[in-house]
Each structure stands twice: as structure tokens, then as C-alpha cells.
Chains A and B, each alone.
Chain A
Amino acid sequence: MTYLIHALISFASSVGFGIITNIPRRTLLPAGITGAASWLVYVALTAATHAVILPNLMAGVTIGVLANLFAIRVKAPVNVMYIPSLVSLVPGAIIYMSMKDFTLGREAAAQQGLTKTLTIAIALAVGFVIAEASFNALRRLARRRPQN
């Protein structure tokens, strides 16, 4: 039940951000599904491990794989799918809190926040790279097979 609520809210977040960033209508549903799936991966892994890097990394991989699949399916650039589906995972709230600490003169807390922002962003970005690299390798394999 909790997972169902998580899925619904993250789906709505991704579709909403898709509307704000003006993605084409045919990509709204794939972006929402990608966003919801990656958020579920993140929530499940966070509950299982209580770590920061692994859940974000695996969520990044999920987005990378699904977005690339959908991009071929609906013929759109991958970025159109990446940006809305990232919105729930991305360390936006943390970078804001860190800059707020900075404004209020709490430098130690500000630095801690910036480091955490960087950690999450790196984990997500590396997840994307892993997904893209393995996806491209698979695609080459799939393309080679019909010729043999």
C-alpha cells in the first residue's frame, strides 16, 4: 500500500515536471512510468540498506535503461525522458537547504549539504553512464544478430 502511494505520487511528479519543461504529449506517459519505477527502486533499496549511494546509483540505472527503451519506442531524444523522471530523485532540496544554511551563516552545515548534493548527483550520473554503456552494447548485439 505504501509502495502504491509512492508510485502514484512520483508518477504525478514526473508528469507534472514534464508539463513544466514542455515535453511533447506522446512522451508524458513514458516519462511518468520511468519516474515512478526509478523512485520505487530508490525507496525499496533505501529501506533495505539505509545507504545513500547504492539506492541513487540503481535508480539512475533504472532511469537509464527505461528511458533509452522508451526513447526508441516513441522516437524522441533521451534527454526528454531523463529530465522529468529525475525530478523526485535529484538533490534539489538538499542543495537549497545547504544554500540556506550558507545565507544564515552556518558554514559547516552548508558544506555538509554541498558534499551530500555532490554525492547524490555523482551516484545518479554514474548510474546513467552504466545504463547507457550496457544498453549500447546490447543494441550492437541485437543489430548484429539478424545479419548472421
Chain B
Amino acid sequence: MVTNEKAIIALCGRVGKLLLENGAETGRVEGTVEYIGRAAGLAVSCHATMTALFVDADFDTATHLVKVRTKDFDLRKVDAVNTLSRRFVAGRIDWATLESGVADVERQRVDYTWPQKILGAGLVSVAPMLLFQATWGDLALAFGVGIAGYLAAQLTGRHTSTPYIAVGVGGLTIGFLATTLALAGLGASADNIVISALMPLVPGVAITNSLRELIAKHTISGLVRAVDAVMVAGAIGAGVVVGNALAHGLLGGLL
């Protein structure tokens, strides 16, 4: 039904890139690409790391290489690609539908509205870890401070391509606001507000995913994710320290 091997490999590369960019695990990416290839009648083998994706079949000497730069999680795209590939492998849609479906997922970005995302960031910023340790007042403040930090990071991310700047600015905003609130006597503990409000930014999920990759023997991907998580945490930590110092320097005498 499908004649052109090159077209199969190219589409497999696009599928793999979509999955990898938006937060799927390496093993899942390789599996999905190989299933699609096999269902299209070509014995494709795929190797994925966090930075590149190789797709190859035995019909000629060339290997298809796709460069990948991971972005923020967009799990809706992962889910959409997964649904398409499951339907294709089960024979419920044909090659042309799969191809246009993948193009649709690449092009459009279905997302929650900004008010919903802001509410989401606020909810994440009230950390269950601090329940009955921080005061309720501090947790309520963290709700607002966390939203400010998340928005600062998102807005900065849109205007710069330098990595790690966005999370650093998020950390700075949170550190500055939390220290200011504590100095003004509104918050009981700046540290508790900071820790709670950082929840949307902090790379905890990344470090756990890194361990999952390592356990699944995707060693390179695991190490890339781990180092990336440490870099993100470093940027946030430095941001908070600077924000803290700024608040003390600017307002220490006044309040």
C-alpha cells in the first residue's frame, strides 16, 4: 500500500521528534516509531537520545537523522501522536490519514486558556509537603507568589532563546516577592513561601524521569536529563539568592 521507503522513514522521524520534544520517554519513542514502520511494511529500527533521533531501514546505506531540542512538557501532543499511531497500527486509518494527522499535531497548539493555566500554577504552588509545617497564611501567599513566578518564567521564555534564563528569572521573582512579603510582616517565613511557590518551576519530575531512563538502560538520555535538571535547579537557586539580596538591599532600610 505504501511504496516509498524514504517517505516512511521521513514520517517516522517526524513522529519521533514530536514525541521526544514534548516529553515522552526514550523507550516509548523508539517503540512507537518502530511499530509505525512495521505496520507500514518496512522493518525500521530507531535509536533515540534526548538530543537526536536516528531512523534506519535496510534498503540503502543512508541513515535518517533528526536533531531534537527538548521543550516544555506538552503532553497533549504526546497523547495525540500516540492515538494516531495506535489507530494506524490497528489498521483503522491509512497512511495518508496518519500523515495529515501528524502534520496537524505539528502545526496546531491546543492549550488551556491563560486563566486556567494561572489557576493551575497557583494550585501547584500550594505544596502538600508544607501542610501543617508552614502557616496557612504563608501557603495562601505562596499561591499568588507562585503564579507571579510562573508568569515571569513564561514571559521571559518567549523573549529569549538562551537556555535557563527563564527559570532563573522565575526564581528571582519568587525570591524577591517572598522576601519582600516577609520583611513587610505579611508572611511568617520567606523560606517556606519560596519553597512552596517554586513547585511549578522546580525540576523534580525531570530528575525522577532521568532515573527511570537510567533504570530502563537508556543511559545517555538519563544522564542528559539529570544534568539538565541540576542546571535548572542551579539557575533557580541563583535566581532566588539574587532576588533575596535585591529585596534586602532595596527595602531592608525601609521596612
A16 touches B124 (CB 8 A): yes
Q: Using Cβ atoms and an 8 Å threshold, which residues of chain A touch B79?
A: 23-24, 27, 76-77, 80
Interface hub of A27, A75, A93 (most chain B Cβ within 10 A): A93
Interface hub of A2, A27, A95 (most chain B Cβ within 10 A): A95
Q: How far is the CB of A116 from chain B (nearest CB, A)?
A: 12
Q: How far is the CB of B189 from chain A (nearest CB, A)?
A: 14
A23 to B73, CA, bound (A): 9
B66 close to chain A: CB less than 8 A: no
B241 close to chain A: CB less than 8 A: yes
> Given A16-B119, A99-B236 in contact, is the A80-B75 Cβ separation under 8 Å?
yes
Q: Provide the B222-244 mask, 1 if CB < 8 A to any CB of A, else 0.
A: 00000001100110111011000
B128 close to chain A: CB less than 8 A: yes
A77 to B76, CA, bound (A): 10
Q: How far is the CB of A89 from chain B (nearest CB, A)?
A: 8
Interface hub of B75, B112, B150, B241 (most chain A Cβ within 10 A): B75
* A-facing residues in B115-168 (Cβ within 8 Å): 116-117, 119-124, 126-129, 131-132, 150
A15 close to chain B: CB less than 8 A: yes
Q: Using Cβ atoms and an 8 Å threshold, which residues of chain A touch B207?
A: 90-92, 95, 117, 121
Binds A, one of B36-44, B52-60, B93-101, B208-216: B208-216
Contact partner of B73 (CB less than 8 A), chosen from A5, A83, A91, is A83
* B-facing residues in A89-128 (Cβ within 8 Å): 90-93, 95-100, 102-104, 117, 121-122, 124-126, 128
A125 to B191, CA, bound (A): 28
A125 to B241, CA, bound (A): 31
Q: How far is the CB of B36 from chain A (nearest CB, A)?
A: 15
Tally A residues with Cβ within 8 Å of B: 49
Q: How far is the CB of B29 from chain A (nearest CB, A)?
A: 11
A88 to B204, CA, bound (A): 9
Query: Count of A-B contacts with CB under 8 A?
Result: 168
Q: How far is the CB of A85 from chain B (nearest CB, A)?
A: 10
B120 touches A15 (CB 8 A): yes
A93 touches B199 (CB 8 A): yes
Task: Give chain B's interface residue range (CB within 8 Å of chain A).
Answer: 35 or more
B229 touches A95 (CB 8 A): yes
Binds A, one of B9-17, B20-28, B180-188: B20-28
Q: Using Cβ atoms and an 8 Å threshold, which residues of chain A touch B198?
A: 92-93, 96
B205 touches A83 (CB 8 A): yes
A40 and chain B: residue at smallest CB distance: B128
A68 close to chain B: CB less than 8 A: no
A37 to B127, CA, bound (A): 15
> Given A19-B116, A20-B121 in contact, is the A103-B234 Cβ separation under 8 Å?
yes
A65 close to chain B: CB less than 8 A: no
A20 touches B117 (CB 8 A): yes
Interface residues of A (CB under 8 A from B): 2, 5-6, 9-10, 12-13, 15-24, 27, 39, 75-77, 79-80, 83, 86-88, 90-93, 95-100, 102-104, 117, 121-122, 124-126, 128-129
24 A–B pairs (Cβ distance < 8 Å), ordered by A: A2-B132, A5-B131, A9-B131, A15-B120, A17-B120, A17-B200, A18-B120, A19-B120, A22-B73, A22-B112, A24-B79, A77-B78, A87-B199, A87-B204, A88-B129, A93-B127, A93-B198, A93-B204, A99-B233, A99-B236, A124-B208, A125-B212, A125-B215, A128-B212
